[in-house]
């Protein structure tokens, strides 16, 4: 089949070395598009979220991080061209990226657990160029369909926030209506999404935060109770919890574990750091607790989440939108903290 050779005109951001001494580079590009492999899709990026994980990538915490690379795993945009074997998408379709692709053939993939694919090698921002760019090439299995009506900034961040929370609560956590759910780091991207999803599914939600200033907003999002605990000690007086979602890590995990009822479940997500916590194994054994690790959602989970979002829109919290050329400043803003929602890079925002 004859396909005309396209020239990609746009820009991309490059991470050239680990750390914060060198700014991310912003490069204007006008180069011929390499021929797409059979299962690849070329996407014109509209927006890309700046995630806390991008900072971990930049710091070089993953031993398999490659350089130079275009950061970003939260891109949303429009399909421009597809490889010969692509079936899921066609030019003009709206799509967004998941964290990585999946092979479709390993035991995890055959079980529908594509985000646990054992052979996935296309990891945006770490092993493959990501979404801090006007264009991204992605295997079709690393993309999910997004409705046209969704604002680009929302579409970009939905997978890593609401998708992750949905998978953790529903698929991994087995959340049922009427259960009591505890969410730590409830003001964060995954946390505030989890509060909304759990409340929507009929759970009684206990939100844990470090500062009182978040309490009113979390109640408005559906939390029945908000516990302010600056020191990570909050297990007293919470009452028995069926399912906990710990989005913080070592600072909150021990207390979150202590809140669980006999047979309770806790899903840990978020900070991929070299943190250690001490566990009393006897406590876990005698109470029959389940500790589960969570990460990004599958395309099927995104479809279910998007159906809920269509039915009654969730509050997707975006602190600000910056132009792609300000990617370095955007990462430094996220690093400084104190934001109310995500920072998103836009390919159409004013310079
Ligand atoms: Zn992310
Ligand atoms: Zn697989």
> pLDDT tens across 278-325, in order?
999 999 999 999 999 998 899 999 999 999 999 999 999 999 999 999
**How many CB atoms within 10 Å of residue 305?**
24
Q: Going by C-beta distance under 8 Å and a sequence separation of 6 or more, which residues neighbour residue 143?
A: 41, 43, 88, 89, 95, 96, 97, 98, 299
H-type alpha helices, the chain: 52-58, 107-110, 152-158, 164-166, 189-200, 215-220, 253-258, 281-287, 299-311, 327-336
CATH number of 162-293: 3.90.180.10
Ligand 2 centroid to Cα of residue 291, in Å, is 23
> What ligand is nearest to the CA atom of residue 161?
1
How much distance in Å is there from the Cα of 319 to the middle of ligand 1?
A: 15
Which whole number is the average pLDDT over 59-64?
87
CA of 100 relative to ligand 2 center, distance in Å: 11
Looking up tokens 């993309």, which residue turns up?
143
The rounded Cα 332 to chain-centroid distance in angstroms is 19
Cα of 284 from ligand 2 centre, angstroms: 31
CA 258 to ligand 1 center in whole angstroms: 28
Which ligand is located closest to the Cα atom of residue 121? 2
Give the position of tokens 């995500």. 342
Instruction: Say how many Å lie between the CA of residue 276 and the centre of ligand 1.
Output: 22
> What pLDDT sits at residue 351?
52
Boundaries of CATH 3.90.180.10 in the chain?
7-146+317-346, 162-293
pLDDT tops 60 at residue 132 = yes
pLDDT confidence bin for 4, thresholds 50/70/90: low
Give the residue with greater pLDDT, 339 vs 178: 178
**The model's pTM:** 0.94
CATH 3.40.109.10 fits 7-146+317-346, yes or no: no
Ligand 1 mean position, distance from CA 44 (Å): 19
């Amino acid at each position: 089949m004859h396909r005309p050779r396209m020239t990609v005109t746009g820009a991309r951001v490059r991470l050239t070395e680990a750390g914060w001494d060198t700014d991310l580079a912003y490069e204007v590009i006008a180069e011929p598009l390499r021929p797409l492999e059979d299962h690849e899709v070329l996407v014109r990026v509209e927006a890309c979220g700046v995630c806390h994980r991008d900072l971990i990538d930049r710091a070089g915490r993953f031993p398999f991080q490659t350089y130079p690379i275009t950061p970003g795993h939260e891109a949303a945009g429009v399909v421009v061209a597809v490889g010969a074997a692509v079936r899921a998408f066609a030019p003009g379709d709206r799509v967004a990226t998941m964290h990585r692709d999946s092979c479709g053939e390993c035991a995890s993939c055959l079980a529908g657990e594509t985000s646990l694919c054992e052979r996935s090698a296309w990891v945006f921002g770490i092993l493959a160029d990501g979404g801090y760019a006007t264009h991204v090439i992605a295997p079709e299995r690393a993309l999910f369909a997004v409705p046209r009506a969704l604002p680009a900034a929302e579409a970009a961040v939905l997978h890593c926030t609401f998708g992750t929370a949905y998978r953790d609560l529903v698929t991994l956590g087995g959340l049922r209506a009427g259960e009591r759910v505890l969410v730590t780091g409830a003001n964060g991207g995954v946390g505030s999404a989890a509060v909304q999803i759990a409340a929507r599914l009929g759970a009684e939600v206990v939100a844990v935060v470090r500062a009182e200033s978040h309490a009113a907003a979390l109640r408005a999002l559906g939390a029945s109770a908000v516990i302010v605990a600056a020191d990570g000690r909050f297990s007293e007086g919470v009452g028995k919890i069926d399912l906990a979602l710990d989005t913080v890590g070592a600072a909150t995990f021990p207390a979150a574990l202590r809140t669980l009822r006999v047979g309770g479940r806790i899903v840990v997500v978020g900070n991929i750091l070299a943190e250690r916590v001490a566990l009393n194994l006897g406590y876990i054994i005698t109470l029959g607790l389940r500790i589960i690790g969570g990460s990004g959602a599958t395309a099927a989970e995104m479809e279910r989440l998007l159906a809920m979002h269509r039915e009654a829109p969730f509050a997707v919290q975006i602190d600000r939108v910056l132009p792609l050329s300000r990617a370095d400043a955007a990462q430094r803003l996220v690093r400084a903290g104190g934001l109310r929602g995500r920072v998103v890079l836009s390919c159409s925002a004013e310079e």
